[in-house]
A and B are shown apart, each in its own frame.
Chain A
Amino acid sequence: MSTPGIVARGVKRSFGNVHAVRDVTLEAREGAVTGLVGPNGSGKTTLLLMLASLLQPDEGEVRIGGIDPIADPAGARGVLGWMPDALGAWQTLTARETIVTTGRLYDLDKERAAARAAELLSIVGLEDLADAPARVLSRGQKQRLGLARALVHDPQVLLLDEPASGLDPQARIDLRLLLRRLAAEGRTILISSHILSELEEVVDDAVFLIAGETVSAERVAAAASRGRMWRLRLADRDATAAALPVAQALGWDVNHIPIERRDLLLHFATDTDAAAGIAALVRAGLPVAEFSAATGLLEHTFLDLEGGAR
Chain B
Amino acid sequence: MNLARLWTIARLELVQRMRTVSWFVLLGIFATLLAGVTLLSFFAFQRTEQSGAAIYSTVVYITLLLVILVSPTLSGNSINGDRDAATLAPVQVTLVTTGEILLGKFLAAWITGLAFAVVAVPFLVIASFGGGVQAATVLVSLAILVLETGIIAAIGIAMSGILPRPLFSVAATYLVVAALAIGSVIGFGLVGASITSEATNSYRTAVYDDTTGEPECKAGAENCWNDPEEMVCGEWQVDTWHVPRFDYVWWMLAANPFVILADATPTQFDRQGNAVDAFGALKFGVRSAQLPPELEQRWDECAPYEEQLFPNAREVIGKTVPSWFVGLGVQIALAAALLWWAWARTRTPARQLPPGTRIA
Question: In the complex, which residues of chain A have a beta carbon less than 8 angstroms from the beta carbon of B360?
Answer: 45, 49, 54, 84-86, 88
The answer, yes or no, to whether B351 is at the interface (CB within 8 Å) is yes
Give the residues in chain A near B359, CB-CB below 8 Å.
49, 54-55
Residues of A within 8 A of B (CB): 15-16, 45, 49-50, 52-56, 69-70, 73-74, 77-78, 80, 82, 84-93, 97, 101-102, 104-107, 133, 146, 149, 153
Contact partner of A105 among B5, B89, B358, CB < 8 A? B5
- Inter-chain contact B8/A88, CB cutoff 8 Å: no
B16 near A90: Cβ-Cβ < 8 Å: yes
Residue B311 is within 8 A (CB to CB) of chain A in the complex: no
| A93-B15, A105-B94, A107-B4 known; A87+B20 contact, CB < 8 A | no
Residues from chain A with a CB closer than 8 A to the CB of B73 are none
The distance from the CB of B79 to the nearest CB of chain A, in whole angstroms, is: 13
Q: Do A107 and B90 touch across chains, with their CB atoms under 8 A apart?
A: no
Q: Could you say which residues of chain B place their CB within 8 Å of the CB of A102? A: 90, 94
A15, closest chain B residue (CB): B353
Could you tell me the distance between the alpha carbons of A36 and B136 in the complex, rounded to whole angstroms?
A: 67
User: Which listed residue, A45, A50, A52, A74, touches B95 by the CB 8 Å rule?
Assistant: A74
Q: For chain B, give the interface size range.
A: 20 to 34
Nearest CB of chain B from residue A140's CB, rounded to whole Å: 17
> Closest approach, in angstroms, between the C-beta of B352 and any C-beta of chain A?
9
Q: Residues of A contacting B2 with CB < 8 Å?
A: 107
* Complex CA–CA separation, A266 to B95 (angstroms): 54
Is B90 a contact partner of A88 (Cβ separation < 8 A)?
yes
Contact flags B76-94 to A (C-beta < 8 A → 1, else 0) = 0000000001111111111
Given contacts A77-B95, A92-B16, A104-B8, 17 further A-B contacts (CB under 8 A): A52-B93, A53-B93, A53-B349, A55-B348, A69-B349, A77-B93, A84-B89, A84-B360, A85-B360, A86-B358, A88-B85, A88-B86, A90-B16, A92-B19, A101-B8, A102-B94, A107-B2
Q: Taking the nearest CB of chain A, how far is it from the CB of B78, in angstroms?
A: 13
Most buried by B among A73, A78, A149: A73
CB neighbors of A among B59-107 (8 A): 85-97
Q: Is B12 an interface residue (CB 8 A)?
A: yes
Shortest C-beta distance, A142 to chain B (Å), equals 11
Contacts of B351 in A (CB 8 A): 56
- Is there contact, CB below 8 Å, between A92 and B349? no
Among residues of B, the one whose C-beta sits closest to the C-beta of A48 is: B360
A85 CB contacts on chain B under 8 angstroms? 360
**Which residues of chain B are near A70, meaning CB under 8 Å?**
349
